[in-house]
Structure 1
Amino acid sequence: MMQVSEDTAMMIESYRNQAEVLVRNYLLADPFIPYTSIISGIFMCKMVYDLTQLISSFYFKGYHGLTKIQRIEWNNRGISTVHAIFITVMSMYLVFFSNLYSDDRLAGLIVFRSSQLSSFALGVSVGYFIADIGMIFWLYPSLGGMEYVLHHLLSLVAIAYSMLSEEGQLYTYMVLISESTTPGVNLRWYLDTAGMKRSNAYFVNGVMMFFAWLVARVLLFVYLFYHIYLHYNQVEQMHAFGFLLVFVVPALLSIMNLMWFGKIIKGLKKALAKRQ
């Protein structure tokens, strides 16, 4: 019995070592990162789409009562939720907890710093945006209008450039932290589609969305532009296209965020008025 346990432990350890070698030599090897990360992101989208469809058909009775396009959007929002959680965790870690972009670090300018992990995570996000915008175009305008197309195109170009050039990754990750609001947006749609628009959960979701949006899509962008101002002498050393992206993409996204935030405020005011 002891021998069997030892053999099993040795076998597990062997597989773990092989997996580490695979990740280090291929998935996170510099020449392969752009390809493996993007493919991983697209594969993740397909896997999550199928899992959302499978789980929902078993555990949500109303799933089969939805229209075909509603079921597609239901599954699609499962993809965006998983991506949002993944990229938010990675962004928070790289921006605030790792020392990769710390001012105290002396290894090069902040705008030119990157790592295998940071580039790989961006590639996964590129894969997601490719898959998602493909679905948006295929089913246009059922999954979103021109504002979603613009948002995805801006994000795709900026993230892909940052991954391939290894420039401005700090600011790319700062913007990607705003994806933390996506699970709340998707939950709101799920509740509405499930006929729970008058529930307490729907109201609480609206209140939480207001605060999350304020922090992640308004105040965070103010901090981002302030950080760019403090490090402008470094930003101006970027290539012209990267320099342009650092200013244009966050500025356009800020305008869109403020427009959506205005709609959130109006919706919250109406919900509060009905409860008085």
Structure 2
Amino acid sequence: MMDSKEIMALKSYQNQANLFVKEYLLADPLVPYTSVIGGIAASKMVYDLTHLIGSNSFKSYSSFSKLQRIEWNNRAISTIHAIFITTMALYLVFCSNLFSGKQYTEPITVRSSTLSTFVLGVSVGYFIADIGMICWYFPCLGGYEYVIHHLLSLVAVAYSMLSGEGQLYTFMVLISETTTPGINLRWYLDTAGMKRSKAYLINGVVIFIAWLVARILLFIYMFYHVYLHFDQVEQMQNFGQILVLVVPLVLSVMNLVWFAKIIKGLRKTLAKTQ
């Protein structure tokens, strides 16, 4: 049992820690940088934990090649990031008052908050870590299309984080990460030799639906939203306008190409089950 002095000392340390976080780590000017560092550190932590859990809990993990184990761990990072960023993006776009509230007078294209900037910073940290691994092990973790996708995402998210411009549309695009866990699960099932299982088939159907909603229909809605608020988009810096208009357009073309491959793969899977 702790005596009163120890309790008071513990509370003092807690107060000092809280003050340090509020005044320094989460101070508005430092949020972009601390969140980016936090995103990189979190990626490293998830990678190491996945390696540790895989080595001790999955017999098949030890039979994988070195590159298969690296990709297994890398996909765990992208899955955790996808869950985090999708949850936060859905909240900020559709649930919070930041972009839908009427109490704001400034254009919707320049609205931001400490929370939204922090979330984008974590995502920037992830993209830095992931593109670093993709380039280091190129092309084992993805070809040129992945490099282009990540570079465009990194530039757009980093600009939105640092400038505070276009955060609404950045989060709309980031909602498309909701398809990532399904894509990664498909790879896990394939690597584990479960390509003919019912779980593999169900996962393929889920990917098809999620991709259609999050990467096709949502992008159409975003372009329509940009059209309705184009007068506010024009108030952004020139580089910000280019990112809002060009990056989603390029990503949507890539999404359509990948969607065609998903449909082709789903047809093959369905044909094998008949």
TM-score band w.r.t. shorter chain = over 0.9
Deviates more, 1:130-139 or 1:13-22: 13-22
Task: Give the TM-score of the pair, scaled to structure 1.
Answer: 0.94
Q: For residues 127 and 218 of structure 1, do their structure 2 counterparts lie closer, same or farther at Cα, with a shift above 3 Å needed?
A: same
2:208 maps to a residue whose letter is F
Q: Does 1:84 align with 2:82?
A: yes
Say which is worse superposed, 21-30 or 152-161, in terms of deviation.
21-30
Does the residue aligned with 2:52 lie in a helix, a strand or coil? helix
Query: Would the alpha carbon gap of residues 144 and 17 (structure 1) be closer, same or farther in structure 2, given more than 3 Å must change?
Result: same
* 1:186 shift after superposition: 0.5
In structure 2, what is the equivalent of residue 172 of structure 1? 170
**TM-score, scaled to structure 2:** 0.95
Q: Which runs of 5+ in 2 are unaligned?
A: none
Residues 171-219 of structure 1: CA deviation (Å, up to 9, x unaligned): 0000000001101111110111111111111111001000010111010
CA deviation after TM superposition for structure 1 residue 8, in Å = 8.7
What amino acid is the match of 2:79? T
Q: Is the 8 A contact 1:181 1:216 kept in 2?
A: yes
Which of 133, 140, 143 lines up with 1:142 in the alignment? 140
Deviations 1:152-189 (A, max 9, x none): 00000000000011100000000000001101111110
CA shift digits 1:22-47 (9 cap, x unpaired): 33222221121121111101100110
Deviations 1:215-269 (A, max 9, x none): 1101000110011011001001100000000010000000000111111111111
Q: Which of 61, 81, 97 is 1:99 aligned to?
A: 97
Distance 1:68 1:8, change over 3 A: same
* Structure 1 residue 13 displacement after superposition: 5.8
Q: Provide closer, same or farther for how the CA distance between residues 96 and 63 of structure 1 changes in structure 2, counting only shifts above 3 A.
A: same
Change (3 A) 1:15 1:95: farther
Q: Deviations over 1:81-130 (max 9, x none)?
A: 11111111110111011000015233311101000111111111111111
Aligned residue identity for 2:109: V
Counterpart in the other structure of 2:267:
269
CA distance in 2, matches of 1:171, 1:105: 20
| Equivalence for 1:231 | 229
Partner of 1:68: 66
2: CA distance, partners of 1:19 / 1:99? 30
Asked whether the 8 Å contact 1:103–1:110 carries over to 2, the reply is: no
Structure 2 residue aligned with 1:202: 200
AA matched with 1:196: M
Alignment of 1:34 onto 2:48: no
* 2:54 corresponding residue in structure 1: 56
Aligned counterparts of 1:16 and 1:227: Cα–Cα separation in 2: 45
CA contact (8 A) 1:110 1:234 kept: yes
Residues 146-161 of structure 1: matches in 2 within 5 Å?
Answer: 146-161=144-159
- Cα distance in 2 for residues equivalent to 1:228 and 1:273: 41
Q: Which amino acid aligns with 2:129?
A: A
Q: In 2, distance between residues paired with 1:226 and 1:6?
A: 62
In structure 2, relative to structure 1, the CA distance for the partners of 1:178 and 1:10 (3 Å cut) is farther
How large is the Cα RMSD of the aligned pairs? 1.8
Q: For 2:181, which of 170, 180, 183 is the aligned residue?
A: 183
Q: Residues 195 and 38 (structure 1 numbering): CA distance in 2 closer, same or farther, change over 3 Å?
A: same
Shift in Å at residue 10 of structure 1? 6.8
Structure 2 counterparts to residues 210-225 of structure 1, below 5 A: 210-225=208-223
- Distance 1:205-1:14 versus aligned 2 partners, 3 A rule: farther
Alignment: residue pair count: 274
Aligned equivalents of 2:127 and 2:3: distance in 1?
A: 45
Provide closer, same or farther for how the CA distance between residues 63 and 223 of structure 1 changes in structure 2, counting only shifts above 3 A.
same
Residue 132 (structure 1) aligned with residue 130 (structure 2): yes
C-alpha distance in structure 1 between counterparts of 2:131 and 2:223, whole Å: 27
Percent sequence identity is 68
